[in-house]
Amino acid sequence: MSTHAAVLTGLGGYLPPRTVTNEELSDRLDTSDEWIRKRTGIRQRHVVDPGVATGDLAVEAGHRALKSAGAQGWNAVDMVVVATTTPDHPLPGTAPNVAARLGLGPVAALDVQAGCSGFVYALATATAALAAGHAEGVLVIGAEVFSNVLNPADRTTAVIFGDGAGAIVLRAGDRDEPGAVLGVDLGSDGTGLELATIPGGGARQRASGRQPRPDEGYVQMNGKEIFLQAVRRMAASSSAVLGKVGWSVDQIDHVVGHQANLRILHSLAQQLGVDKRRVVSHIESAGNTSAASIPLALADAAARSRFRPHDRLLLTAFGAGLTWGSAALTWPQTTLV
């Protein structure tokens, strides 16, 4: 087996300064702080000010991750992957402009669209490029201005999602180094397309020949079904990646799941047989930031010194598509945040 692996060398998160509390949402929607906290674990979410787009958040998080990577940052990164559901434009992708604004020069740059699983898919893209020798250093960013696609009148989505960006830097290295990404599992089930979708604005809607209704530009989801599928798919994908890297459940130090709902994270822990105390969460203060949620949770936990060198981390995500994915990695020797 090849000894090559992608190794984590940089990490950064960025949340826009403005917060929206549950109380503020309760003023304009038929909901309450108590309902939102009890059913989702969310207390507040961050929302951009007018004029701020996904690329702006991606640049902030990317800058922090490159800075934290030190010598492995600006000089070593030759590829940028941005995972987002809320790109700056339908064309071009968000990544080339982010790379240019970060001063990275003529590097490879592409977007990955896999809903809330986007960060794990982008991580897999980066590790594959490093293993194949197509890149020597990759900046992987998850960034969202999800508030753009929320129907202000829909209480089921408006209370959950928030804006933010998180980023990591990976370099080519060896499997036995702390910080190595040791395995990835990815999957999809496109028959679940309708469970979470923005129906308007794409080729399918234009091909229908009719004008989109205003609400078709907003995310629509079947929360109950997504909840059940998220737990089932993340648990199966987690088991698959653990099998690939030969770790038992007891050997996992931290589960960093997509931050969709605290009850989903706790149900996942129960299904896997992992103690809830090993579940990493920042959902209380940031809500569901879609493709940004895993790197933001990593940055938040790292800033609290929660991870120690050589700790074993399981990342797992589920999102629209339907898509899911998991990754197993160890924590690096250096302090990243």
For the CB of residue 267, give the shortest distance to ligand COA in the complex, in Å: 11
Cβ atoms 285, 209 nearer than 8 A: no
Per DSSP, which regions of the chain are E strands? 4-14, 19-21, 44-46, 79-83, 108-112, 137-144, 164-174, 180-188, 196-197, 220-221, 254-257, 312-319, 323-330
- Which residue is catalytic, options 22, 97, 261, 288? 288
Segment contacting ligand COA (CB under 6 A): 34-42, 163-171, 204-212, 297-305? 34-42
Residue 28 near ligand COA by CB under 6 A: no
Q: Tell which residue, 292, 31, 259, has the closest CA to residue 154.
A: 31
> Can you say whether the dihedral through the CA atoms of 64, 3, 249, 263 is positive or negative?
positive
Angle between helical axes of 223-245 and 262-272 (0-180°, round to 10): 40
Q: Cβ closer to ligand COA: 40 or 147?
A: 40
Tell me which of 101, 155, 175, 232 binds ligand COA, using CB under 6 A. 155
Segment contacting ligand COA (CB under 6 A): 48-56, 152-160, 209-217, 301-309? 152-160
Burial class (CB in 10 A: 0-12, 13-18, 19+), 209: exposed
288 classed as catalytic: yes
Tell me which of 230, 234, 292, 336 binds ligand COA, using CB under 6 A. 230
310 classed as catalytic: no
Rounded (5°) CA angle 184-238-156: 110
Write 89-97 long-range contacts (CB < 8 A, 24+): 90/201, 94/54, 94/55, 94/58, 94/143, 95/141, 97/55
Segment contacting ligand COA (CB under 6 A): 98-106, 225-233, 236-244, 274-282? 225-233
Tell me which of 69, 109, 302, 320 binds ligand COA, using CB under 6 A. 320
Segment contacting ligand COA (CB under 6 A): 36-44, 71-79, 103-111, 184-192? 36-44
**What is the contact mask toward ligand COA in residues 276 to 295, using x (rule: CB under 6 A)?**
------------x-------
Residues near ligand COA (CB under 6 A) are 31, 35-36, 39-40, 115-116, 155-156, 159-160, 196, 221, 223-224, 226-227, 230, 260-261, 288, 319-320
Active-site residues, by number, are 116, 258, 288
